[in-house]
Structure 1
């Protein structure tokens, strides 16, 4: 038996079960679509497709507007700071760029849903849009895993090599992540093409004889690379970071534990339902047999689950940037430049007060450095020297007398 799975955003056909020997009589995609339409299971569940399309349109639109603003602000603020040496700023910046790439693909999925999955932009855009989405999706997940690992290593490591070469290592890791993420989607994207002439649809179309094998291979690789490998790294190293900070007796340890729970919970909510449905749809009809009503519900809600998986692009800027007092201070500094002078002075004072608060090392570790770090790499915050208003000194008296004579001698 063969069945069409869902692999990422896009249309998903109903639970169609087709005997393998039927393929011998199929010569083109039109005949295949005809076969799909005439071999549907008799099991039917009353589900409102119009309501689902409206809900998806609203969700895509909301995520696009909010995610676009958030990630552009994160990129702008961190890019302005790129001249300074940041600890984990490079991973945060690259993750925001990847999240922005996913956000920029949302209008296409939004229009596709509105047009009932009719693809009007040609065969090249069918492949490129899916490639662009998947490459940025993998990049965002990998940068999040790298951020979790790097944060703990920076705190706990006393290796001289790491102390002197950590920035070079980060740049190399970022380059490897982008290259690796650009290669992973290729086996799937090469099999994306338009199906149908009157109302074309952008579908995954592997060869008939090996379709089930291709679909299952792509689904398993997506789950392994996009979840099973990065998720343990994110959990383990975030927990290790929280425990290390707790052992150091940091007073804000309770806040670190709450943030770690938030990091893990958001990742689970976004990606666990996505990968469960992806595997079930890929296995259905070839390796497992589900009840027809369950299959109907599975195919109906798969598009909604795909949409919810993109919420990570909206949640990441909040968790890893906007919760940081340091980031909010730098954001306010950036806004101050575009305000009138009176408002700019008030904003600068507020920004200075906000920046003086040490930011939690769990988020971006910008406010402090590990105690083991080399003195040359530390950036301590020193209090500004101040003198009382009535303070006087011999030097001040001399300067005052000279100034008085100069004014008296001038006409």
Structure 2
């Protein structure tokens, strides 16, 4: 791959238009997400010791978010520095590696949570005694391992190496054939299939809850709101980002020799959608831990959250 081709669009890219948006977004998400995910990690660990199955997936999700949050200051510095990476190739590759892994570990764990809840709610009698922490631990470990291994090529791609005139970090503009096809695979395998699973499982949960005569009004509302919240966070945080990947890739494949103009027009939109995917680090603990609180205000928050997790054991 020609080094100059990697940054052929750079001189005309409207980086300044999105600079404030990205820096503010990264700063807010880091300031809120770090303590929120630390608290969620502690809480879910407590629930794991109480043999809560769902807490395994929530614990893995929180660890994944903490891993990504640790890189946000570096991304903020990079954007503030006009998209010039001055912290070395290894730091760039490691930061990019964590970013890519975080997105797909989060997506897959959201699927695991939805499937686990689907089995527990829709097949309550059949699954009684069949859901075990060991199974959840094995699935979580397998997902982490698979995603980490699949993204290892990040360390050999030129996109993260600071060589010659290449100063950006994983911002290949325009795309190349390798990245275009890789983005198409990311959209299909990393987004479209999980999205289908999430919508199907949560729709079934919603219907089953609506028809249930054994659940009280408060319990039904709790299950419904959580199902809606799962789909909402997925569509808001991940759908726009992956749609841009799809559009950019298709445009490049159709107009390989004149894609810079399109990249220029879509860059600010892409930056805004990147902020939405970053906001997932704040939304996860809010949705899965705090959003379904229906107790009295005088009831301690920890007790309410514990009850929420225990409800899906």
Is the structural similarity TM-score above 0.5?
A: yes
Q: Please name the residue that 1:19 is paired with.
A: none
Structure 1 residues 104-137: Cα deviation after superposition (integer angstroms, max 9, x where no partner)? 2211111110001111111111211111221222
| Residue 34 of structure 1, CA deviation | 8.4
- Correspondence for 2:283: 315
Write out aligned runs for 1:322-401 (5 A). 322-325=290-293, 350-351=299-300, 355=303, 359=307, 364=309, 366-367=310-311
> 1:134 is matched with which residue: 87, 100, 107?
100
Number of corresponding residues = 307
5+ long unaligned stretches in structure 2: none
Give yes or no for contact 2:154–2:160 (8 Å, CA) kept in 1.
no
* Selected match of 1:98 from 53, 64, 77: 64
Tell me, in whole angstroms, the C-alpha distance in 2 between the residues paired with 1:279 and 1:367.
39
SS, match of residue 111 in structure 1: helix
Q: Cα offset for 1:35? A: 6.0
Return the index of the structure with the highest Cα Rg: 1
Specify which of 165, 180, 183 is matched with residue 216 of structure 1.
Answer: 180
CA deviation vs aligned residue, 1:183-216 (integer Å, no higher than 9, x gap): 222234421333554772224679xxxx733112
1:282-336 C-alpha deviation (Å, 9 max, x unpaired):
222432589987543202332222122111111110110012449x99xx9xxxx
The 2-side partners of 1:81 and 1:203 are apart by: 38
Question: Distance in 1 between the 2:94 and 2:305 partners?
Answer: 45
TM-score, structure 1 as length reference: 0.65
Alignment of 1:33-52 (within 5 A): 49-52=15-18
SS at match of 2:176: helix
The counterpart of 1:283, out of the listed 241, 250, 266, is 250
SS in 2 for 1:81: helix
Mean Cα deviation higher: 49-58 or 114-123:
49-58
Q: Which of 187, 190, 196 is 2:153 aligned to?
A: 187
Alignment partners' CA distance in 2, 1:232 and 1:177:
18
In 2, distance between residues paired with 1:35 and 1:275? 23
Q: CA, structure 1 residues 114+245, in 2 after alignment: closer, same or farther (shift >3 Å)?
A: same
Residue 259 of structure 1, CA deviation = 3.2
- Distance of 1:131 and 1:295 partners within structure 2: 23
CA contact (8 A) 2:45 2:55 kept: no
The 1-side partners of 2:126 and 2:148 are apart by 32
Q: 1: distance between equivalents of 2:170 and 2:246?
A: 17
The match for 1:144 is 110
299, 304, 307: which one aligns with 2:272: 304
1:167 to partner: Cα distance: 2.2
Shift, 1:357, TM fit: 10
Contact 2:181 2:249 in 1 (8 A): no
Q: Among residues 147, 150, 163, which one is paired with 2:129 in the alignment?
A: 163
Distance 1:50 1:356 in 2: 44
Q: Secondary structure of 1:200's match?
A: coil
Change (3 A) 1:265 1:288: farther
The equivalent of 1:244 in structure 2 is: 208
Task: Note the residue ranges of structure 1 that are not aligned, 5 or more in a row.
Answer: 1-22, 41-46, 333-348, 370-411
Distance 1:216 1:294, change over 3 A: closer
Aligned to 1:110: 76
